[in-house]
Amino acid sequence: MAGALLWEHMTVREVRDALESGVRTVLVPLGVTEQHGYHLPLRTDCYNCEEISRRAADRTGVFVAPTLAYTYSGGELPGTINVSPHVVTQIVVEILQSLCLQGLRNIILVLGHGGSENDRATQEAAEIFLRNNPQYHDRNIAVFRFWKNSAMCDRAFTEGDFHSGWFETSLLLYWVPDEVREEYVLDDPEVVQMMREDQDAYQLATKNVDHELVVPAIRQHPAIKVGVMGEPERATAELGRQISDEAVASLVELIEAMRGGGEG
């Protein structure tokens, strides 16, 4: 029977035995510590990648590495901890290096946070690592974005439901209902509408010189006090189960494809 191999709860002997038995696949959950309104915890995106990884590993018997909780949000509300994207890239490169040195052949970076800067940083880490380490060209590295592998998430985005809305709230109601506060507070209506029309509208770009070559200074829009981009009051645990099932099935499919002829 398959079962998740949770790296941080294993001993040296247990990891060695698993490697010697042929397990060569590891999932690396990459979360963030950031604002999620008044109703969701700051580690929401850590739950996103962690729970999907564990469920997929339960079905495939692969390793799940410890969750990385410090990456780049771009938000500035209280509780958010930002690590610059170039540092995130380097951290992920170092993680890949360490895992490859131990003999892992299939490494899947499981993103829990969909911010564009963090997404690019992770993708670039995988590409730079392989480019600079030809000795590891026999390894397989993938970046898994759960929201791109769920029809329910696609529906949410089409409706303008992005950050801390019904799809994320539903996931936490399914996974960790005790972490969800019944305090569905939104920003002022015009701010909410702005964010539902464009999820990157939380950023405010300014220039001292109006010229296309001048780099803008970007900060979070000062009118944002809560930061919810959606309708969390529509969330249900059943919707969360559907999203989870879709994402997990897609991740399992990726794991099996990367393992190929049954190797780890």
Residue-by-residue DSSP string for 3-23: --EEGGG--HHHHHHHHHTT-
pLDDT (mean) for 188-203:
86
Give CA–CA dist 167/157, Å, rounded: 9
**What tokens appear for 143 in the block?**
């970046």
Give CA–CA dist 67/47, Å, rounded: 9
**What tokens appear for 12 in the block?**
């040296």
| Position 184 confidence tier, pLDDT thresholds 50, 70, 90 | very high
**What tens digit of pLDDT does each residue of 119-160 get?**
999 999 999 999 999 999 999 999 999 999 999 999 999 998
Q: What b/e readout covers 194-223, taking b as 16+ CB neighbours within 10 angstroms?
A: bbbeebeebbeeeeeeeeeeeeeeeebbee
Is 80 exceeded by the pLDDT of residue 165?
Answer: yes
Give CA–CA dist 229/140, Å, rounded: 35
- Give the 3-state secondary structure of 72-92: CCCCCCCCCECCCHHHHHHHH
What are the structural domain ranges in the chain? Answer: 5-259
pLDDT (mean) for 163-173:
97
pLDDT of residue 214: 96
Gyration radius of the chain over CA positions: 19
**What tens digit of pLDDT does each residue of 28-78 get?**
999 999 999 999 999 999 999 999 999 999 999 999 999 999 999 999 999
By C-alpha distance, which of 163, 150, 185 is closest to 230?
Answer: 163
User: Exposed, middle or buried, 41 (CB in 10 Å: 0-12/13-18/19+)?
Assistant: middle
Of the options 3.40.50.150, 3.40.50.10310, 3.40.50.10800, 3.40.50.2300, the CATH number for the domain spanning 5-259: 3.40.50.10310
**What tens digit of pLDDT does each residue of 62-73 get?**
999 999 999 999
Give the least confident one: 8-12, 105-109, 179-183, 249-253.
179-183
> Could you tell me how far CA 180 lies from the centroid of its own chain?
19
pLDDT (mean) for 160-188:
95
Query: How high does pLDDT run on average in the chain?
Result: 95
pLDDT of residue 263: 57
> Could you tell me how far CA 5 lies from the centroid of its own chain?
20
Give CA–CA dist 134/82, Å, rounded: 32
165, 231 Cβ separation under 8 angstroms: yes
Is 90 exceeded by the pLDDT of residue 92?
Answer: yes
Is 60 exceeded by the pLDDT of residue 212?
Answer: yes
171, 243 Cβ separation under 8 angstroms: yes
The SS3 assignment for 187 reads: coil
Phi, psi of 137 (to 5 degrees): -75, -5
Tell me what percent of the residues of the chain surpass a pLDDT of 70. Answer: 98
pLDDT (mean) for 221-245:
95
Give CA–CA dist 157/166, Å, rounded: 10
| Position 261 confidence tier, pLDDT thresholds 50, 70, 90 | low
pLDDT of residue 264: 61
**What tens digit of pLDDT does each residue of 196-209 get?**
888 788 889 999 99
